[in-house]
Amino acid sequence: MVTDTHGRRFNDAQRTRRAISEALLNLLQEGQRRPTADAIAERAGVSRRSVFVHFADLDELYTEVAVVQGERLSTFMKPIATDLPLTERIDQFLAQRQRIYETMTPIRRSAIGAAPFSRTLADIIDRCDAWLRDQIAEVFATELAGREPRVSAALDAAVSWASWFHLRRLSQAEVHQCLRCVIEALLNDRSNPA
């Protein structure tokens, strides 16, 4: 009987890496800004040494965590039909953004704090922001067609995580109404279309 021990070891290593990544992500999600290796190992059900064996450095771990977080966030990102009326697209877009931002907030706050010390983290934040900008361009392509790039930039700023986070003192309905008002104003203003 032949056994594939190399394949089994590889799968075990992948499972351990995933467990460590998910452990860190869950600890951040729960509000721990800088979980220790001991806390990560305990949550993952592995030894402290395993954290360092499976990841060469923090940047490698951050990259893996970004993949897991991307998978989680992508479950909220459903295609929005571009032939829907603008008000319906805005409502669906804002509902998605709320779920995404609620999920990403603890991780994003931690990443922003550590980004000045990690080019990898800064790049991950930039890629996430680009992913969110791409959604804006797709959902509001009709309204943005032929408009100056500053309209897209203004829309991106208006619905950014930073804007949403700033408005968290309001109820969810008030945040939705506020952002809807800004989106409609930006997309309906044709005083400077080109």
Do 107 and 174 sit in the same domain of this protein? Answer: yes
Six token digits for residue 32? 């721990």
pLDDT surpassing 90 at residue 7: no
In a domain, 194, yes or no: no
Do 110 and 41 sit in the same domain of this protein? Answer: no
Which of 38, 130, 36, 135 lies closest to 80, judged by CA?
A: 135
Which residues are within 8 A (CB) of 126 and not within 5 positions of it... i.e. 6 or more apart? none
Do 120 and 31 sit in the same domain of this protein? Answer: no
In a domain, 72, yes or no: no
> Which three-class secondary structure state does DSSP give residue 189?
coil
In a domain, 64, yes or no: no
Do 89 and 171 sit in the same domain of this protein? Answer: yes
Task: Check residue 58 and give its pLDDT.
Answer: 79
Q: Rounded to an integer, what distance in angstroms lies between the CA atom of residue 84 and that of residue 77?
A: 17
Task: Check residue 91 and give its pLDDT.
Answer: 98
This prediction has a pTM of: 0.81
Task: Check residue 141 and give its pLDDT.
Answer: 97
Do residues 80 and 92 make contact, with C-beta atoms less than 8 angstroms apart?
Answer: yes
Average predicted confidence (pLDDT) for the chain? 89
The residue written with tokens 């190399």 in the block is: 6
142-187: per-residue pLDDT in tens? 999 999 999 999 999 999 999 999 999 999 999 999 999 999 999 9
Do 84 and 174 sit in the same domain of this protein? Answer: yes
Six token digits for residue 24? 């860190």
In a domain, 68, yes or no: no
In a domain, 96, yes or no: yes
In a domain, 138, yes or no: yes
pLDDT surpassing 70 at residue 192: no
Range of the domain at 16: 5-55
Do 132 and 99 sit in the same domain of this protein? Answer: yes
15-58: per-residue pLDDT in tens? 999 999 999 999 988 988 888 889 999 999 999 999 989 988 87
Task: Check residue 138 and give its pLDDT.
Answer: 96
Do residues 20 and 44 make contact, with C-beta atoms less than 8 angstroms apart?
Answer: yes
Q: Rounded to an integer, what distance in angstroms lies between the CA atom of residue 186 and that of residue 143?
A: 9
In a domain, 124, yes or no: yes
pLDDT surpassing 60 at residue 82: yes
Do 44 and 99 sit in the same domain of this protein? Answer: no
The residue written with tokens 């460590």 in the block is: 20
pLDDT surpassing 80 at residue 2: no
Task: Check residue 132 and give its pLDDT.
Answer: 94
- Give how far Cα 75 sits from Cα of 30, 123, 153, 160, 184, Å: 20, 22, 25, 19, 26
Do 86 and 174 sit in the same domain of this protein? Answer: yes
Q: Length of the chain in residues, anyone?
A: 194
Q: Rounded to an integer, what distance in angstroms lies between the CA atom of residue 145 and that of residue 122?
A: 30
Q: Rounded to an integer, what distance in angstroms lies between the CA atom of residue 152 and that of residue 143?
A: 10
Higher pLDDT, 47 or 5: 47
Do 159 and 86 sit in the same domain of this protein? Answer: yes
Q: Number of structural domains, the chain?
A: 2
In a domain, 88, yes or no: yes
